[in-house]
Amino acid sequence: MGNNSMLAIDLGASNGRVIYGTIKEGKIEILEIHRFENNPVTINGVFYWDVFCLFHEIKIGMLKCKEAGLKYETIGVNSWGNTVGLLDKDGDLITNVYHYRDQNANSILRELYEKYNPITLSKETWYKHMSIQPTVYLCYLKEKKPWIFENIDKILMISDLFNYFLTGVKASERTMAATSQMLNMITKQWDGSYMKKLGIPDRLFAPLIDNGTVLGPLRKELVEELGLDYIPLVIGVAGHDTAAASGCIISDELESSLYLSCGTWSCMGCRVLAAITEEKLFNIGITNDLGLFDEMQLRFNHTGLWILQECKKDWESNGIYLEWEEITDLILKAPPFLASIDTEAEEFFNLGNMPQKVQEFCKKTKQKIPTTVGEIGRIILESLAFRYRFSRDRLQECAGYEFKTLQIISGGSRNRILCQFTANILNIPVVAGMEEAAVMSNLVQQAIAYDVIKDMKEGQELMEKSCSKQFYKPQDSEIWNDKYDFWQNYISSRYQRGYRKGKSGNE
């Protein structure tokens, strides 16, 4: 067994993977061992993540490594954020893990804002509130299901929960902890006074660790169950997949640090030298957030390719089976700028009937109603590009500098239409690649922790040599700019003011 064999466990909102990685001849080589779907379940009106099935799939991936004769010294887990597991005093889950798209806690953030001024509340930790966050979920349990809340002994963020399953160690990796909204962005510590204000005891949270911390060996019972003749170490890599992916952005200057981690979610961010503590952040919708190794970022978290992914599921349920490349061809043939949507409208966050939701939005806003797969798909991608323009402009406003380029990473970097649309509307070059950004970063952090490579700079050089990139130059930017003005002034702003409240929209 060499000194650079690693296992990256990458859990996304739609699927998970177990990937074997090595460093050879100045490059990172990866081999996908096992891919599996992440299928949440609804039981008695509650939407849950099926963490038991996911952990079973992780073990299948590890068994496949054994069958293939692949050994590894270290393991690292990264995943989606905004999710917690609740353990009792015996270390067992008290309840199944709630999905962040579950609707039961929806009213709690509104109730918090009635009790506390939203801006004042946000200034406690300088991290933006969202209804999907553990802060809101825990307040929901405290109020609506106190018998669960009162029996909590320890709260673990979702990647930390899987680390606990693997090692028995209860620890909270800092980038993932940030997604709870209870980590102070200035001190980068749990904010005990804020928790106390909300009635959440700080003793419930595990000690914080930095990404790259060695958690310990794989549990003895797992080693025996898997039939391993060696004991790998589990590394607490950056648990939040967006924070992990952002480590792939190579830039010596702030003006070139703009990135878009694009997948089910679209997370646009940039580097800053310190947390921004200005009220306008929260009026705009930007949050402070953490990158790797104590890096500070500004970030916009918004809906990504989820809308198109849900459309594909709906089409398939109606007997229309299309590969992504076929959908791409249909989008290219569809007429441009037929209509547009506000991708942040609440209905697009929730499950079900996504093509109909796009059509209904267009009807409410008195636009042409799309009827084909290509038309609906094109409207979604054009509207995402408009949202990226909005986010870029606001990030520039808050960061205080103009961006020269955008780097698109993660799975969405493969969507050549979206990449070109984004270059058009931003009117700056777009560099797309690093589609395995979170995995690559996961492996690099393991290699650093195991002293295989020196630091993140060396790791970024390895990633740069290991990945191909595509370059997109702006096209027809004047036309796109005109269409963006319409989207911003009529579609997005008017919908926010009127249609969401059930008004006619004639104001």
Give the separation between CA 392 and CA 299, rounded to whole angstroms. Answer: 10
Which two three-digit tokens encode residue 27? Answer: 């490059």
Burial class (CB in 10 A: 0-12, 13-18, 19+), 485: exposed
The predicted-structure confidence for 173-214, as pLDDT tens digits, reads as follows: 999 999 999 999 999 999 999 999 999 999 999 999 999 999
Tell me which residue has tokens 């636009």.
Answer: 367
Type of residue numbered 407: Q
The predicted-structure confidence for 56-109, as pLDDT tens digits, reads as follows: 999 999 999 999 999 999 999 999 999 999 999 999 999 999 999 998 887 888
Write down the pLDDT at residue 446.
97
Give me the helix-helix angle, 51-67 and 158-167, nearest 10°.
Answer: 50
Residues 6+ apart with CB under 8 A from 255: 401, 402, 403, 404
Beta strands in 25-94 (DSSP E): 27-37, 41-43, 46-48, 74-79, 84-87
Write down the pLDDT at residue 3.
55
Write down the pLDDT at residue 493.
62
Comparing 289-303, 323-337, 405-419, 487-501, which segment has the lowest mean pLDDT?
Answer: 487-501
- The size of the chain, in residues, is 507
Whether residue 501 has pLDDT greater than 80? no
Q: What are phi and psi of 348, to 5 degrees?
A: -80, -10
Give the separation between CA 271 and CA 400, rounded to whole angstroms. Answer: 11
Strand 5-11 and strand 74-79: the pairing is: parallel
Q: Which long-range contacts (CB under 8 A, 24 or more apart) does 104-107 make?
A: 104/45, 104/46, 104/140, 104/144, 105/131, 105/136, 105/137, 105/139, 105/140, 106/131
Tell me which residue has tokens 């930007």.
Answer: 286
pLDDT, average across residues 222-237:
97
Per-residue confidence band for 27, with pLDDT thresholds at 50, 70 and 90? very high
Per-residue confidence band for 25, with pLDDT thresholds at 50, 70 and 90? confident
The more confident residue out of 336 and 303 is: 336
Write down the pLDDT at residue 338.
97
Write the CATH number of the domain with boundaries 5-241: 3.30.420.40
- Domain ranges in the chain are 5-241, 306-386
The predicted-structure confidence for 431-457, as pLDDT tens digits, reads as follows: 999 899 999 999 999 999 999 999 999
Residues 6+ apart with CB under 8 A from 69: none
Whether residue 496 has pLDDT greater than 70? no
Average pLDDT value over all residues in the chain: 93
The predicted-structure confidence for 277-321, as pLDDT tens digits, reads as follows: 998 888 888 999 999 999 999 999 888 999 999 999 999 999 999
SS (H, E, C) 466-491: HCCEEEECCCCHHHHHHHHHHHHHHH
